[in-house]
Structure 1
Amino acid sequence: MTMMHSRNSCKTLKCPKCNWHYKYQQTLEAHMKEKHPEPGGSCVYCKSGQPHPRLARGESYTCGYKPFRCELETFGFT
């Protein structure tokens, strides 16, 4: 007997604010910080006008800053 797997079958952690699913808690937390930031949480770099520091892999800016831009599209990436 073969089992059918859906796209999210092995991703058990669901975002409480949208329909995205994740396999790891750390990935869900990074998604929450980037896509659903806490109100009132302000970025010290945005407020001071300083350039944002380079982050380690898997980290994201709480303010939603996306330093990398696609040359063909208007998308920004972290």
Structure 2
Amino acid sequence: MFLKALLVVGACIASMATTTAALTKGHDLSSVGLMETTQGAKWISTAGKTTTIESILGDGGMQAVRLR
């Protein structure tokens, strides 16, 4: 019985490890176009240079975006 419980716990831990590695960092960019055209939003990097929001988020580790 102990061996069976140990195997179940091991399988759960292995499952969690692969699930954690599969997480993706992302952001919703649906309103970016509206902000840029109607409000004149500009995106400035930490270096103080004007750049695209995608570049800033990509440099910060974002891997995916959502567009509606």
Structure with the greater relative contact order (CA < 8 A, sep ≥ 6): 1 or 2? Answer: 2
Structure with a larger share of its residues in helix = 2
TM-score by shorter chain over 0.5: no
Larger Rg belongs to: 2
